[in-house]
Structure 1
Amino acid sequence: MPYPGTRAGNSSNENSATPSLPLPEATHRHTSTRLRATRRSRVRRPAKRKNAVTTVAIAGAGPVGLMLARELQMQGVRTVVLEAAAERSPYSKALGIHARTIEILTMRGLADDMLAGGIRLPRHHYAMLPNSIDYSKLPSPYAFVLAYPQVGTENTLESAALSAGAELRREHRVISASQSADEVTLEVDGPDGHYTEQVEYLVGCDGGRSVVRESAGIDFPGSEVTFWSFLGEVYLDSPPERGFVRHGEHGAIFVAPVPGGFYRVSGIDLARQDPQGPLEFDEFRETVIRTAGDDFGMRDPVWLTRFGDASRLASQYRNGRVFVAGDSAHIHYPAGGVGLNIGLQDALNLGWRLGHVINGTADEDLLEGYHADRHPVGQALMTTSQAQTAVIKAFAPGDQGLRTLTNDLIGSVTEMNYELALRLSGLAVRYLAPEGSLPIVGTRAPDVQLTSPAGQSLFDQLDRPRFVLLHRDDLTLEGLEDVHTVAADADAIDTAGWTAVTAALVRPDGYVAWATHTQDSTCAGAEAADALSHTLRPSAAHAITAPVT
């Protein structure tokens, strides 16, 4: 529970209630210079480009939309982000950043400020149970949950997207979209009035009530809100010990530190399950006293809100030229703090596919792989969130066995604790692999230390959306001049967990597309070239085995 997932873009998340502390009045407006008139200096856009045609439009300037915009711009794809809000929200709906997300941000050179400013939590609660999940044993350089405010994440990603050349239009609300075989037509309300725009592709990153998803006719089945949780970020003069959780007859609560010196206090108040109006500070204090037995000397609230447990998953992540990602594709109760993480990984997966198709280096069939890869991850997200929610909601005396058993297993069965950490961290994701592939195909690539270029690692070479061919440094691979090639010695490869692997082709999102044990350089080179061709031209690919873990 609650590091609430991201809610960004043109519409709100149905799980979120109205904040009691309102957004500040905008001090200025950002619009597009494509619209005439007096607002020209207020646009966040790059210098003029030779190609003035927008190729991809993204609805929503939250973390997912901004991440995707940068991925596309780094591949030379002209991208515009349309955001309904005048300013970025000062409130951080999402707070937890997990190991796999830190890995992909590190690859793209975006993690330094987050790692420097965040709070590293080697353990974190599961379903508000006394026994917690141990992240410190994860097979990653980032074996912890990083508490870092979403506002900081958005600031980093917005700066990166703009530096890459993306255009950001604030106060431009997508109100509908329609598509033909060749383009998508957007209807947009901007500060200077209504206009239409044609693009090749549209991506909805506009939240749980996504206009893009609805316009594309993508179903969003799931469950309605059945209970409400409270959330406040406040200063505490007498904070509890780190990892504080309580669960009892009055409800549940947890307290976690937030960078900036204040605390996130969130939980369920069984006495207030029919919220009327915004959450006020006096009500919040009473709720905390009732559920925790203390107000911890709270003062100076930064943000107060409520959110529900609605759970929905898009039936498809693509319909023709329209895609959905992040909260537009999946909403859930924020148990485990994984929502933002899944959304950023959606963006990374979609970005390289769109880039290759638009640039003519891949067949359009490559875009089908986005749903094939990410929808099962969304299904797993629903399962994980709903399982934790069931344990959290076990307040009745007859339900206590569920909490007691789950708590005992997490505390006593090391393998179970570790598996939960793998799943919540995103490290357990495994994509479908061609039949006959080595077991590492479809899994994330570790950060192997390289001998060429010397002094660098594999993550350093994934600083942009490109394929990387890693081979053992006693092999010489030929015939792959268009693929970025790096080398490592056998010990480094074995130490990374790839025992006996002699070469591997890594996708732009850091997952393994192909690997081999052969020590024949000619054979390895031919296999790698074939694997690259089949990845980019999936209609000619080998049969696919089943499912993602």
Structure 2
Amino acid sequence: MPAVTHSAIDATDATDAIVVGAGPTGLLLAGDLAAAGVRTVLLERRSQESNLTRAFAVHARTLEVLDARGLAERLLSTGYFVKDVRLFRGAVIDLGRLPTRFPGVLMTPQYHVEGLLEERAATVGAELRRGARCTGLRQDADGVSVDVTGDDGTTGTLRARYVVGTDGVRSTVRQAIGMPFPGRAVLDSVMLADVRLDASPGEVPAFRGGPAGFSFVVPFGDGWFRVIAWRRGTALPTEAPVDMEELKDVTRAVFGTDFGIRDARWTSRFHSDERQVPAYRDGRVLLAGDAAHVHSPAGGLGMNAGLQDAANLGWKLAAVLRGDAEEALLDSYHAERHPVGEQVLKVSGAIVRAVLAESPVVRGLRGTAGAALRFGPLAGFAGGRVAMTVSGLGIAYPAPPGSHPLVGRRAPDLPLAEEGPGRPVRLYEALRAGEFVRVVPRGFGLDAGPGPGLRVTRADAGRTMLLVRPDGYVGEAEEVPLGWVDGGVVDPRPRATVSPGPGPGPRDVAAPR
């Protein structure tokens, strides 16, 4: 496990990167940075690991991100995998036909995700310091000084070239740089409980809303169920205890039964806001996950958005810190991920507003939309687009005019024609090296010219040559003419490139998107 410190930080302590907050986003980011050779310290105010959880849904794109780190299969064994999501009566999002190795959504407690990511971060050399609370910071032209208070009351300062705040909705890092967090409250006093049930719901996951409020029931696969419930008009503070009878009442009101809720092992309340910072970067300080954007729990998108923030930022920050890229590359983090955060707010907000609609007209339209998604002519088209959006597979980043259509899009997990022990047989296995991966057509020859990154050969008949970024998105693409394959000698560097900033130098990668 990572080194754990419970005392003050020495005033002379210095490192390359500090990540503040050891939730899923911070753990993935710290692991990526350390794996890339960056000295990384992860500060966590909690002295001990938590077995409590709010997030539980791991969508397909996030499973691909974890697959590129060798973690997906292990995580799948911890939960319950489902292939459709029911938003409201009659509305079903079919995830089973998604173009991925993971056509569905994994229901598993957040602590399983954190456990795997912490183990990986330790293995690659990230240093986790528990009981170390960030109380403020100051940045200058050369770096950032972070004030830290240990859980024993002692204080000190830790110095780094860059700091990333992944410390949640009440982010100290965000407040320290004076970054606004505009938005509004959506739901007050949402109840959470992990419980046993006498009878399992017929739907997985089960979600109902009505005049009384809503209730959501999902299995964790180990006999425990998460129940999320909200009663319309409730305005209790977050510290108010959860009344199990109230939880049962709301569940009965919308489902017609409370499924025999009993034996709660954990309960909590939270307020749900819709907020997003205007900028994900302020000089040498960056924000990710809930420190940058928060939204309603509808759709289970929050943890996924944060993990994908980390995957986008990690390779860019590592390239800058190693001297392989100019600092301007970091601006592409905001340019690519801020619009995704906006989309998540819109999607989750639309879902929760549809579920809670009181107007008979809106409820009628909601029913019509549900029928269309499930049975009507829009089932394939609209349902497919919604599934791609909710799963994260449909996320694409901007590309300049004239680029190949694949530039900025998620790379599919192509089969590879590699031979020999330890050679990857899929693209996402090749991405586990943490490098750019150049995918060339069969017969093209791996040594036919210069170019950055690990070089692999497609096993299919496709003639598209790709340069895939470490986060699994296409940075460059080009269609190779038939005459260039099977022995042709050409310069294999794709012409359709994206260069949002100055090139990174020695690795000959023009800051590909």
| Same-fold call, TM cutoff 0.5 | yes
**490, 494, 508: which one aligns with 1:527:** 494
Which residue of structure 2 lines up, in the alignment, with residue 42 of structure 1? none
User: Structure 2: any 5+ residue segments left out of the alignment?
Assistant: none
Note if contact 1:365-1:537 (Cα within 8 Å) is conserved in structure 2: no
Task: Find the counterpart in structure 1 of residue 111 from structure 2.
Answer: 151
- Report if aligned partners of 1:518, 1:524 keep a CA contact under 8 Å in 2: no
Residue 427 of structure 2: aligned partner: 458
User: Is 1:262–2:229 an aligned residue pair?
Assistant: no
String of CA shifts for 1:361-408, please: whole Å, max 9, x gaps.
Answer: 111111111001101111111111111121022024343234223212
1:534 is displaced (CA, Å) by: 7.2
Change (3 A) 1:330 1:67: same
Deviation digits for residues 155-186 of structure 1, max 9, x if unmatched? 00001101111111111110111100111011
CA contact (8 A) 1:471 1:488 kept: yes
- 1:252, CA displacement in angstroms? 2.1
- Match runs of 1:84-483 below 5 Å: 84-126=45-87, 128-192=88-152, 193-243=154-204, 244-270=206-232, 272-274=234-236, 277-411=240-374, 412=376, 413-414=378-379, 415-453=381-419, 456-476=425-445, 478-480=448-450, 482-483=452-453
Any idea what SS the aligned residue of 1:310 has? strand
C-alpha displacement of 1:306: 2.4
Q: Provide closer, same or farther for how the CA distance between residues 308 and 386 of structure 1 changes in structure 2, counting only shifts above 3 A.
A: same
SS of the residue aligned with 1:288? helix
Displacement of 1:304 in angstroms is: 1.7
User: CA deviation digits over 1:76-124, x for unaligned, max 9?
Assistant: 1000011011112211211001111101101110112211222111011
Q: Is the alpha carbon distance of 1:538 and 1:383 closer, same or farther for their aligned partners in structure 2, counting shifts above 3 Å?
A: farther
Q: Which amino acid aligns with 1:258?
A: F
- Structure 2-normalised TM-score? 0.90
Inter-partner Cα distance in structure 1 for 2:467 and 2:503: 15
Q: 1:32 Cα deviation (Å)? A: 5.2
Q: Distance in 1 between matches of 2:471 and 2:419?
A: 20
* Separation (CA, whole Å) in 2 of partners of 1:94 and 1:61: 14
Q: Which runs of 5+ in 1 are unaligned?
A: 1-28, 37-51, 494-499
Compute the displacement of 1:231 (Å): 2.2
CA distance in structure 2 between the aligned counterparts of 1:538 and 1:78, rounded to whole angstroms: 20
Distance 1:90 1:384 in 2: 29
2-side partners of 1:230 and 1:159: how far apart? 31
Could you tell me the TM-score, scaled by structure 1's length?
0.84
Distance, in Å, in 2 between the alignment partners of 1:156 and 1:542 is 33
8 A Cα contact 1:231 1:265, kept in partner: yes
Q: Deviations over 1:404-425 (max 9, x none)?
A: 2321232221211111100000
Q: 1:341 to 1:531 in 2, by over 3 A?
A: same
What's the RMSD between the two structures over aligned residues?
A: 2.7
Change beyond 3 A, Cα 1:203–1:262 = same
Q: Distance in 2 between matches of 1:173 and 1:263?
A: 32
The 4+ residue runs of structure 1 with deviation greater than 6 A are: 532-536, 538-544
- The Cα shift of 1:245 comes to 3.3
- The answer as to whether partners of 1:30 and 1:86 remain within 8 angstroms in 2 is no
Question: What is the CA deviation profile of residues 472-500 of structure 1, one whole-angstrom value per residue up to 9, with x for unaligned ones?
Answer: 12113533364210012442x3xxxxxx4
Q: What SS class does the counterpart of residue 494 from structure 2 fall into?
A: helix
Alignment check: 8 A CA contact 1:234 1:265 kept: yes
Residue 235 of structure 1, CA deviation: 0.1
- Partner Cα distance (1:350, 1:109) in 2: 19
Contact 2:273 / 2:294 at 8 angstroms: preserved in 1? yes
Residue deviations 1:488-516, cap 9 Å, x none?
2442x3xxxxxx41x11000101000111
Q: Which moved more, 1:215-224 or 1:137-146?
A: 215-224
* Structure 1 residues 188 and 300, CA gap change in structure 2 (3 angstroms): same
Q: Write the letter of the residue equivalent to 1:318.
A: R
User: Is the CA contact (8 Å cut-off) linking 2:229 and 2:250 kept in structure 1?
Assistant: no
Given residue 457 of structure 1, which amino acid in structure 2 is its aligned partner? R
Q: Equivalents in 1 of 2:145, 2:160: separation in Å?
A: 7
- Partner letter of residue 135 of structure 1? L
**Higher mean C-alpha deviation, range 260-269 or range 132-141:** 260-269
1:509 equivalent in alignment to 2:471? yes
Q: Distance in 1 between matches of 2:383 and 2:212?
A: 28
CA distance in structure 2 between the aligned counterparts of 1:541 and 1:73, rounded to whole angstroms: 21
**Deviation by residue 1:441-491 (Cα, 9 ceiling, x = unmatched):** 111111111112466111111003210100012113533364210012442
CA distance in 2, matches of 1:279, 1:341: 27
Q: 2: CA distance between counterparts of 1:362 and 1:347?
A: 18
Deviations 1:243-286 (A, max 9, x none): 33333332222322112211122232226344582213233233
The AA in structure 1 aligned to 2:51 is: P
Provide the C-alpha distance between the structure 1 equivalents of 2:292 and 2:433, rounded to a whole number of angstroms: 25
- Equivalents in 2 of 1:396, 1:526: separation in Å? 58
Match of 1:66 among 27, 34, 54: 27
Distance 1:202 1:456, change over 3 A: same
| In 1: Cα distance, 2:395 partner to 2:281 partner | 20
Structure 2 Cα separation of the partners of residues 453 and 363 of structure 1: 36
Kindly provide the CA deviation profile for residues 276-334 of structure 1, in whole angstroms up to 9, marking residues without a partner as x.
Answer: 82213233233333443322222110222223331001100001000000000100001
Residues 16 and 160, structure 2, Cα contact 8 Å, conserved in 1: yes
How many matched pairs?
493
Q: Kindly tell me: are residues 86 and 98 of structure 1, through their superposed partners in 2, closer, same or farther at Cα, counting changes over 3 Å?
A: same
